[in-house]
Amino acid sequence: MNLLLPATILLLGGLVKGLNGFGYAVVSTTLLTTVMPAQQAVATMIIPLILANIQLLSQATVQEIKACIQRFAPYLITSIAGVLAGTLLIDTIPQKLLAKTIGLLTLLFVASKIDPISDLFHTGLEFCAENPKIEPLLGLLSGTVFGTSNIGVPFIAYFQQIGLEKKKFATMIALTVLLTSAIRIPLSAYLGMYSGPQNIIISALLAIPGLAGVYTGEKLSEKLPDRHIYRASLLLMTVIGFKLLGTF
């Protein structure tokens, strides 16, 4: 495999993440899907996602991590179950259908950021936040979406809605992604999604330009207007989403 194009894609995804705090998995996975089979694209991003969140989790204390696990244990457990189901589901979904599904989820992510459509998402999330008994079901659904597409928007949306303070929010996102992603590597390898052991090594190597992109994006975000960055990122995701749907 020529690594130049995938490396450039992860660099771009990391750049988007560094600029506005989201979009690494969405941009990288959807763009990879345009140059390789959807199953392989999803698998390729697992290790880069893990490495990108290790540093984030390392900023939390052991006590903070324990507190988060105790509070959100049902959500984390069902999220892991959902990821397992989603990863197994990938093996049964035709490649073209999986690519279109990722494209649709990407467009839904963009829609969730735009008024007045975002109000509908907000109302639904508010209902879920006010009913803790729904939390395990949300974990299952969120994990299934993440397992099939690498799109962790449901995780982010829920933790934002319940009003976690910034540090605890970052800890929960990193913890959720790490716990749910770690089990995906052996399972994906078993299912043949890496198309050979060498692609596991390639996946690890591609994490390097991704991390470089995040670092560069964080530096650039200090100099560029937030509004322009935000709009450009959403526009990029919109174009990618429609491309995967076969609109053009």
pLDDT (0 to 100) of residue 241: 83
Whole-angstrom distance, CA of residue 57 vs CA of residue 223: 26
DSSP H helical ranges for the chain: 4-20, 24-33, 38-44, 46-58, 62-71, 73-90, 95-111, 117-129, 135-149, 153-161, 166-182, 184-191, 198-221, 226-244
B/e letters for 87-118, b = 16+ CB within 10 Å, e = fewer, are: beebeeeeeeebbbbbbebbbebbebbeeeee
pLDDT (0 to 100) of residue 211: 92
pTM tops 0.75, yes or no: yes
Q: pLDDT 10s digit of each residue in the chain, 248 long?
A: 678 999 999 999 999 888 877 778 888 998 898 888 888 899 999 999 898 888 778 878 889 899 889 888 999 999 999 999 998 888 788 878 888 888 888 888 788 777 776 666 666 666 666 677 888 898 998 899 888 888 887 887 788 777 778 778 878 888 888 888 888 888 888 888 887 778 889 999 999 999 999 889 888 888 878 778 778 888 888 888 888 887 65
pLDDT (0 to 100) of residue 231: 82
Q: DSSP of 85-112, one letter per residue?
A: HHHHHHTTS-HHHHHHHHHHHHHHHHHT
Selection from 6, 13, 8, 15 nearest residue 27 by Cα? 13
Range of the domain at 179: 4-244
pLDDT (0 to 100) of residue 210: 92
Geometric angle at alpha carbon 208, from 109 and 14, rounded to 5°: 25
Selection from 5, 3, 154, 151 nearest residue 75 by Cα? 154
pLDDT (0 to 100) of residue 243: 82
pLDDT (0 to 100) of residue 122: 66
Whole-angstrom distance, CA of residue 32 vs CA of residue 42: 8
pLDDT (0 to 100) of residue 130: 65
* Number of domains the chain is built from: 1
What is the torsion angle, in degrees rounded to the nearest 10, for the CA atoms of residue 222, residue 205, residue 102 and residue 106?
Answer: 0
